[in-house]
Structure 1
Amino acid sequence: MNTKPLFVILLVGIFTLSACKNGEKEHTQKSPNILWLVTEDMGAYIPPFGDNTVKTPNLSRLAKEGVIYPNLYSTSGVCAPSRAAIATGMYPSSIGANHMRTTSYTEVTGLPKYEAVPPLEVTMISELLRKEGYYCTNNYKTDYQFKAPITAWDESSPYAHWRNRNENQPFFAVVNFTETHESGLFEPYGFRQIETRHYKSGHRNYKWKGFGKSHAKNRMTEAETPVHISKETKFKVPPYLVDNEATQRDLWKMYNNIAEMDKQVGAILKQLEEDDLLENTIIMFYGDHGGPLPREKRLIYDSGLNTPMIVRFPKKNNAGSKFTNLVSFVDFAPTLLSLIGQKPPKYMQGQAFLGKHQSKKPRKYIHAAADRFDGFTDAIRAVRDSQFKYIRNYRPEQGYYLPVAYREKIPAMQELLKLKEEGKLNDIQKQWFREQKPKEELFDCINDPFELVNLADKPEYQNKLQELSNEMDRWLTDINDNPSLSEKDLVAKLWDGKNQKPVTADPIITIENNKVVITCDTEGASIGYKTNPKAKSWNVYLESFKVEPNNKTILVKAHRIGFLPSKDITIDISTLNNN
């Protein structure tokens, strides 16, 4: 698709921002709003991408009015590492975010709780947008493999909403939908309750409840569940699963959950239209990785990495078209900056696929990694081009299947395990349960979309094998990823050999030339402040600022990603010396 004309049109609406005032940028003209609609555990199981099993009128409308991206790939087959890539523009295995649940399962790993520690110049993309004057909100999901600094969002909560921003301020809003999550296949099955809340503006908004041990309590009984697709439907089962009653029911749940998620997408789009913002907003819909079924989530086959994306541009630019180039989650952060006219920083490992600073060269490869998932560790790396995928197994002596307890709550998974013990799985279904795995794998993802036939030993594919192997070596060196490094040694590396989690230094506040100056001895720390301690949001400190006469105190906090935050420092301004 020739996308150049689209970006010229888009950038007409991106205007210059004025100088700073009180540490925030003041707008003289509107910039485009950006809305992310993010679902979980989502393969390409919707009509715009060729699966017509269930109707999704709202997503189908987005696709009709927008551009579809069939070749988007996550950097991991699970959510938190992938979210780290989206938030920073960095590969998870380059910053210590590759092991799922770095603050949990310490009784298994024997390690202290730790977080990813990116290089000191790395800042969350939402904070970078805040620095450019955007009102940034996030609904519900906050697991980035590190605690977000207080400067990351204007508001991050189930009730965060663009309607809370200042008039004419552009917004970047992330709305997360949880209905399609893996836990939506558990029994007892039902849809999550949705609560509403009145805002001071008189509007209403949705709140999505979470998961966890009490997930069943937050779900309606089956009798109360609205049926979106008939139970009599005969679903097409991927060959790595057993086609039986349990799997058919899980597929029924999966498609019902997609239909419910589509309704929630429609509710958000309706709010956007009610606010007359649709045609000044770039809307992106995508999933946080591949599908929820067994041998999908957590794996780095396409079933675990590939997720659909739809982008709707103002005025329906390029409506109904398809962008077939490869896109990786590490490309999201630089693309956001490119869309608002900002050049992505050099530390970002992705490349912009939209906007003023769109990369001149299309992406040739995507990369992915699989390491520890909950209490079970492996070490796998993958690289894929437009047709072939190369996988390198760093623990070939270890079987593929990891007995993750959470996944084993899925009835279809329980059926696989039961039939395995009974010796009733066919050769394809048994592949996942091999006691060992080859050091190298090569798959033709077009002619073998389920990645079942390993071509690594085929003479006619040795040139492709070598090409992708060389590309993997280049990538690993470039991002400083050592897949053989133990998690214990990784923590020591992140903490610079210390045995205690690093702490962000307390900020220092002074008055210079009648302006407040804030510094922090921890390089790379973000600094937030409030001149009104009761204010909901923390201001991002950009440069020295004047304090209004009625402000008598200032609240300050510093936080470098991966470190413990500083203490909250409350200062009586009258006690500061004016140098």
Structure 2
Amino acid sequence: MSDHPNICLIHCHDLGRYLGCYGFDVDTPRLDALASDGATFENAFATAPQCSPSRGSLMTGRYPHENGLVGLAHDEPDLNDDERVLPSYLSEAGYETHLFGLQHVTENPQRLGYDELHSERLLSPDVPPSVHETARAEKVSGTFADRLEDGDLDDPFFASIGFFELHRIEDDDRFVFADDPYESADPDEVEPLSYLPDEPGIRRDLADAQGMVRAIDRGVGTVLDALSDAGVDEDTLVIFTTEHGLAMPRAKGSVYDPGIESALLMSLPGVIEPGTRYQELISNVDVLPTILDLIDEGVPKRVSGRSFLALLRGGDYTPRGRVFAEMTWHDAYNPVRAIRTRRFKYVRNFWRLPNVYLTHDVRHSPSGEEVRDEFERPNRPYEELYDLEVDPHERENVAGDDGYEGTTAELREELREWMETTDDPLLSGPVPPNNFEEEIMAWPPG
């Protein structure tokens, strides 16, 4: 293997782990094959249950409140002016860097430092569907294949390949997964999600989502075939991931596991043992330092993630004891911080909102319509603790219960220490922009 293998980072929207290789009833043969040829991470988590903040962490190796991207890139938040992103690091290491399709880290993609931008439009997902024709998996993967075949990508290259799918599409004031290019499954045949009730609207959504998932799978297949046809597949690191969980209630927009779980598949012949399935906790801030470690580039001290290259190589690796997640802004102010260990999830809510926060697209979806009356009751506690060993779906809040007082106090303190170490602005009060009335502000938290 070369000291500087090519790198293909394939990413998509709102997928979670909804793939056959993660045990779901979805037909994803090319992604399943990628998993068989490389590594599958069973416990990979995002830093945020929303697009831009999580993507910012992937590209900087830093948490959203550190890099400035505390909300959606097409709103007010943006990366800090001095923030460095993965293409910058790789360019410095001698890579030619290319962006294909979606990025949704900034409204100004030129500032990301790619050598070449191959997309006709580089916009956020919350715009009319017609502009996303150039960001769909078929189009983006085909463009990559054409450029590679034409010899437009010089070794070593880094290609960020972003698919629009599995983002919902607005249709008559509802947000759905169905659209002309996608063939939905039969709602009666889909397997319900374990964390949601088995209702017709939820089945309808899952059936439509499967059409988009199959489009993602075909797009990945096009990329893999192009690498093989060009004779560079044996010297290319392929990473497939997504930024957060499914755009479903109690998933996207939530720091419960369905909201922050991420698919993470990696393949590199000669380094990654085929068919390996890792149980270790991984955060998406860890991807950037792992890439830098692989190509023998130093990992800057400001990077918060930690390399797991030793894990891939079967070396001396100390597993993470915990991962952190956060949310500050989405389509509403929703400041939440969370810490997850192998057994426990502790959630700190800093604002008075409904029991389960639903993003706008989820709330106005067939699934959201089934559950929003129940989920939007105004009874969210300030503290939540879940014993994942006995309650994997995070239903029973045991914060302060007999036998859990010590765990609650310990994780509360660990979360605060992390917030202090990373200079979280939430410790000083509400994070702007805000225009809330004083009487509805829950600060300081009770």
C-alpha distance in structure 1 between counterparts of 2:176 and 2:399, whole Å: 43
**Offset at 1:177?**
1.9
Q: Distance in 2 between matches of 1:98 and 1:188?
A: 26
Residue 154 of structure 1: CA displacement? 1.2
What one-letter code is carried by the residue in structure 2 that aligns with 1:176? Answer: G
Asked if structure 1 preserves the Cα contact closer than 8 Å seen for 2:102 and 2:162, the reply is: yes
Aligned pair in 2 of structure 1 residues 323, 187: CA closer, same or farther (>3 Å)?
A: closer
Deviations 1:427-485 (A, max 9, x none): xxx3x323132221111223322211111122212222222112111110110003253
Question: Does residue 65 in structure 1 map to residue 37 in structure 2?
Answer: yes
Distance 2:358 2:409 in 1: 33
Identify the residue that residue 270 of structure 1 maps to in structure 2.
225
Structure 2 matches for 1:51-450, cutoff 5 A? Answer: 51=24, 53-101=25-73, 103-104=74-75, 113=76, 115-117=78-80, 120=82, 122-145=83-106, 147-150=108-111, 152-158=113-119, 159=143, 161-162=147-148, 169-183=155-169, 190-191=178-179, 219-220=180-181, 225-226=182-183, 229-241=185-197, 243-315=198-270, 317-354=272-309, 360-374=317-331, 376-395=332-351, 397-402=352-357, 404-417=359-372, 420=373, 430=374, 432-450=375-393
What TM-score does the superposition give when structure 2 sets the normalisation length?
0.83
Any conservation in 2 of the 1:389–1:444 contact (CA below 8 Å)? yes
How far apart are residue 178 of structure 1 and its match? 2.0
Alignment correspondent of 2:2: 13
Cα distance in 2 between the residues matched to 1:240 and 1:231: 15
Distance 1:165 1:133, change over 3 A: farther
Q: 1:332, CA displacement in angstroms? A: 1.4
Q: TM-score, normalised by structure 1?
A: 0.65
Task: Tell me if structure 2 keeps the 8 A contact 1:35–1:284.
Answer: yes
| Distance of 1:343 and 1:165 partners within structure 2 | 30
The alpha-carbon deviation at position 33 of structure 1 amounts to 0.9
Report SS of the residue matched to 2:368: helix
Asked if structure 2 preserves the Cα contact closer than 8 Å seen for 1:58 and 1:263, the reply is: yes
Instruction: Give 1:95 shift.
Output: 2.9
> What's the secondary structure of 1:68's corresponding residue?
strand
Partner of 2:439: none
Matching of residue 37 in structure 1 with residue 10 in structure 2? yes
User: Distance in 2 between the 1:298 and 1:98 partners?
Assistant: 13
Deviations 1:491-540 (A, max 9, x none): xxxxxxxxxxxxxxxxxxxxxxxxxxxxxxxxxxxxxxxxxxxxxxxxxx
Distance of aligned partners of 1:270 and 1:346 in 2 relative to their CA distance in 1, 3 Å threshold: same
Aligned-pair identity in percent equals: 26
Provide closer, same or farther for how the CA distance between residues 406 and 117 of structure 1 changes in structure 2, counting only shifts above 3 A. Answer: same
> 1:239: how far off?
4.3
RCO higher in 1 or 2 (8 Å CA, sep ≥ 6)? 2
Contact 1:351–1:359 (8 Å) recurs in 2: no
Return the alpha-carbon distance in structure 1 between the equivalents of residues 88 and 297 of structure 2. 13
The one-letter code matched in structure 2 to 1:454 is N
- Maintained 8 Å contact 1:81/1:145: no
Listed one character per residue, the Cα deviations across residues 559-578 of structure 1 (whole Å, up to 9, x for unaligned) are xxxxxxxxxxxxxxxxxxxx
Preserved contact between residue 184 and residue 257 of structure 1 (Cα < 8 Å): no
CA contact (8 A) 1:398 1:437 kept: yes
Question: Residues 43 and 287 of structure 1 are in contact (CA less than 8 Å); yes or no, is this contact kept in structure 2?
Answer: yes
Pair 126,460 (structure 1): closer, same or farther in 2 beyond 3 Å: same
C-alpha separation in 1, matches of 2:87 and 2:168: 27
What's the RMSD between the two structures over aligned residues?
2.7
**Structure 2 Cα separation of the partners of residues 183 and 327 of structure 1:** 30
Number of aligned pairs?
405
Other structure's SS at 2:425 match:
coil
Q: Which amino acid aligns with 2:416?
A: D
- In the aligned structure 1, how far is the partner of 2:154 from the partner of 2:359? 48
SS at match of 2:254: coil
One-letter amino acid matched to 1:486: P
Whether the 8 Å CA contact 1:100–1:372 is kept in 2: the answer is yes
Equivalent position amino acid for 2:222 in 1: A
The answer as to whether partners of 1:334 and 1:352 remain within 8 angstroms in 2 is yes
CA distance in 1, matches of 2:407, 2:53: 28
C-alpha contact (below 8 Å) 2:148/2:230 kept by paired residues: no
Contact between 1:135 and 1:162, CA under 8 Å: does it hold in 2? no
Unmatched runs of 5 consecutive residues or more in structure 1: 1-11, 15-30, 105-112, 192-218, 421-429, 491-579
Change (3 A) 1:188 1:88: closer
1:353-402 CA distances to partner (integer Å, 9 max, x unpaired)? 1169998432211111111212x11211000111211101112x432344
Query: What CA distance in whole angstroms lies between the structure 1 residues aligned with 2:358 and 2:395?
Result: 21
Following superposition, the deviation at residue 90 of structure 1 comes to 1.1
Deviations 1:185-211 (A, max 9, x none): 9667644xxxxxxxxxxxxxxxxxxxx
Q: Which residue of 2 aligns with 1:465?
A: 408
2:22 & 2:90 partners in 1: Cα distance?
31
Moved more, 330-339 or 360-369: 360-369
Aligned mates of 1:226, 1:146 — CA distance in 2: 31
Cα drift, residue 338 of structure 1: 0.7
- Structure-2 change in CA distance of 1:54 and 1:460 (3 Å): same
The one-letter code matched in structure 1 to 2:194 is P
Contact 2:168 2:176 in 1 (8 A): no
CA contact (8 A) 1:116 1:146 kept: no
More helix by share: 2
Q: Which residue of 2 aligns with 1:455?
A: 398
CA separation in 1, counterparts of 2:150 and 2:420? 44
CA distance in 2 between partners of 1:393 and 1:373 (Å): 15
The CA distance in 2 between the partners of 1:249 and 1:391, in whole Å, is 31
